[in-house]
Amino acid sequence: MGRKNKLAKFADVLSFPNVYECYNVQDPTLVGVDMEPVDLKGRWAETHFKNNNPITLELACGGGEYTVGLARRFPERNFIGVDVKGNRLWNGAQDALSNGLHNAAFLRTRIEIIELFFAPGEISEIWITFPDPFPRYSKENRRLTSPLFLEKYRRLLQPGGLVHLKHDDGDFYQYTLNTLAADPRCSIFYQNDDIYAGELPMPELEMKTKYEMKHLANGKTIKYVRFGVGA
C-alpha cells in the first residue's frame, strides 16, 4: 500500500463515528471524531452503542473482518475490534458503516494499555484471531496469551467470561496450552488442533480472515482453544 493511500485512510478514520484511538502511551487520552477527547471506560454500551448488550473484544483485529463478521451474525451483541494500525482498521470500520452495523466499533491503541479504556468486568468475551506469535523467547511478554495478558483479561472480563484463540502457528498454540495449564485459575473448555477436519463446534468459527485464507491455501491447519481465566 502506498504512503499516500495510508495517509488518506488515517485521515478518513478520524472522521468515522465508529472509531476511537489512543496511540500515544505517554498520553493515554482516548479520542473520537475530529480528535475530540472521550471517556468511554465503563460506558461503552451506554454511550457508544446506546444499549445494554454484552461486549466482545477482538484483539489484534487487523482489517476487522472477524469483528464485522461477528457483528453481522449476532446483532444482539456489541463488538469492538482493537488494533494498533489505523490503516488496517479503516477496512473494517468502513465496511461496518456501509452496511449499517451499529454494533461494531473499533479502537486503535496498543493492547498493552487496553485496561485504560475498559472498566473491570465490562467485557463478556475476547477473541484473539491470528495475532503475531512473537516466536523469539525475548518477546514472550508480547504474546497475547502470555501470563501478562491473561492478568489483563482476568480484570476486563465479567465472571464466566470466555477467551477464544484461533491460530495457525503450532508453537504459539502449544505455548498457549502450556501457559493455561500452568495457571490454576484458568480452565480450558474446548481445544482442537485442526478445526476444519470435522464439524465445527460453533458458528463463529466459520468466518475466515484474509490471513487465514492464505494459511489454508498453504496447507496449514487452523487451531482453536476456548478458555476462561478465572477470578
Q: What is the mean pLDDT of residues 214-222?
A: 92
DSSP string, the chain: --HHHHHHHHHHHTT-TTEEEE--TTS---B-GGG-B---TTTIIIIII-S---EEEEET-TT-HHHHHHHHH-TTSEEEEEES-HHHHHHHHHHHHHTT-TTEEEEEE-GGGGGGSS-TT-EEEEEEES-----SGGGGGGSTTSHHHHHHHHHHEEEEEEEEEEES-HHHHHHHHHHHHH-TT-EEEEEES-GGGS--SSGGGG---HHHHHHHHTTPPPEEEEEE---
For position 4, what pLDDT does the model report? 47
Q: What is the residue extent of each domain of the chain?
A: 3-228
Q: Which CATH class is domain 3-228?
A: alpha beta
Least confident of 11-15, 85-89, 98-102, 216-220: 11-15
Check residue 6 and give its pLDDT. 62
pLDDT tens for 126-174 read 999 999 999 999 999 999 999 999 999 999 999 999 999 999 999 999 9
Active site residues: 132
Structure confidence at residue 210 (pLDDT): 84
The mean per-residue pLDDT over the stretch 190-210 comes to 93
Q: Which pLDDT band holds residue 181 (cuts at 50, 70, 90)?
A: very high
For 1-35, write each residue's pLDDT tens digit.
Answer: 455 466 566 667 778 999 999 977 788 899 999 88
Using the predicted structure, report yes or no on whether residue 222 has a pLDDT greater than 70.
yes
pLDDT cut 90: percent of the chain above it = 83
Mean pLDDT of the chain: 93
